[in-house]
Structure 1
Amino acid sequence: MLLLISLSQLSSSVHRNQENQSADVTFILLGFSEYPELQVPLFLLFLAIYTVTVLGNLGMIMVIKINPKLHAPMYYFLSHLSFVDFCYSTVVTPKLLENLVVEDRTISFTGCIMQFFFACVFVVTETFMLAVMAYDRFVAVCSPLLYTVVMSQKLCSLLVGASYSWGIACSLTFTYFLLELSFRGNNIINNFVCEHAAIVSMSCSDPYISQKIILVSATFNEISSLMIILTSYVFIFITVMKMPSTGGRHKAFSTCASHLTAITIFHGTILFLYCVPNSRNSWLMVKVASVFYTVVIPMLNPLIYSLRNKDVKETVKKLFNTTLSCDKCKARILIISF
């Protein structure tokens, strides 16, 4: 309901903003157009990645839903992470694929703003979903006897709801200040996605406030989420090192390995893109990093969690074997009928 109300308000704001423009505003996403010989290979590569992303994330959600052994807080958060990854990739990748095969790479003012809005919602949500999952691992390792009491269904729903709500709130704020800017005519964005920095650089008005708002918010989001993650894993590390059994330590570390891998890839890419000197000055570097965290990471997360999780792998094998058995039964019935 909150998202529907927010979208309604955003759509009306976009409409009012468009009316205030002196001419029709469009954006041209250059993407990888400077490499014409790579258009087809890149299209096939990104199509394959997107296919794996959709199948992997929706498959993960289905596996968690049908296996009672996976009805635990950790998998509840993982199902929402998969949903966020699926949505995030779907906001960006189809337009990227389209621009690789068509000459006209324009996107309307409304389309660009809406893509930016949804991309912000899901990237901020994922940032805090990973932090929530770190807290979940902290409780599981450091207070295993109280785990089911502390991580109640009510608390889990509250943490997930807070992550989505904060993502929507941040995105609405960023988008509102973007809509306060003025744009005219055709605007060329040297990227494949409507990124904030690229959009404000096309503005005819002073983007100072919009830039400061997103800088402060992004810094707060990154620092606060990393503090939750680092604090959780410091206590996890101390607790694990105190365990007398080597087997116990190995088991505890293995339950956190998938999450640590996902965190390292996600935050490492963002920190490299926005914090490494001169990385913002190279548009090729920006595009590659943007591809990584908008297209590749949503594909990697279900693979990371499924390959390292015994229960998930067993469920997938059972589903696969069941499907094969059903296909064989159908084949036999068809043969008998003939």
Structure 2
Amino acid sequence: MVGNTRANSKGLPSQELLDDLCSRFLLNVPKEDLESFERILFLMEQAHWFYEDNSVEQNPSLRSLSFKEFTVLMFNNCAQLRPYIRYLDDIHREFTDYKFSIPVSGAIILDDTNERCLLVKGWKAGSCWSFPRGKRGKDEEDDHVAIREVEEETGFDLRGLLKVGDHLETHLGTQRLRLFIIPSVSADTAFAPQTKKEISEIAWHRLDELVPACDEMITRSVNGLKLYMVAPFLKPLQTWLSTEPALIARKSDPPVKGTTVWKAKPSIGDGGESSTSKVPEPKLVDNRPGKTFRNFRFDYAEIVKAAESVFSAC
């Protein structure tokens, strides 16, 4: 069992566990998934989620790791990837740039007064609030992305409520964001994320309290919330609502207040950030990589034979 795999004295995953993660997520995949570093790091992300959600949860002696720390360990563990550790910073930077070019879809969910919207807060300490949303998969339609991501992040099913024409769209840098407007949802609706360690809080927020504190400070509301992913949609949303007479906010007396509808239970290590101790840097090999691994092949027998404990000296 993965949860029973022993960690070393510093709480880092054992050679056996790293080999298991490599086998699960990197060895038995279609050839096209190993043709570029970007796609390899997408597989690494899945391995990292599995490690955090399953291995760490089942084995308290294991330490939570940042994605960068995790990839250092995985690259060092795999004989075929080990020569490229020297360039992992560049690989991560290109991967981040690539991810921010992928279109995003989600939903602006309004309550039954249409005075409040539903926002979610990320898991990591210091995360911003945002509308529930996520990246589009290959050949996936925007409305399908919104349905999938909203359900994963809030547990709410948009099927039968989403109208393809009712959406707002903007660009942040090279990334396109499309949010479908879902008005008049009961404030008593139960919301809860369906994925682990992705969302820390779900809450209704008043639209009039989300306005930027000033024109130069568009990422924070008057009450101090971080709203980088929310602010660009606020004025277009008010304009859209003003053109829908049946959806004009029904003023309540007293005014309806913002309220948290779901919040993760705090526990040790759930701050979303790993320990401040660093993963030791492995010995570097000077062998510059190209942009892709078009001739990349895993040789599991070689990995097992050549693998050595990353932290055997610890």
Q: Same fold (TM over 0.5)?
A: no
> Normalised by the size of structure 1, how large is the TM-score?
0.24
Higher strand share: 2
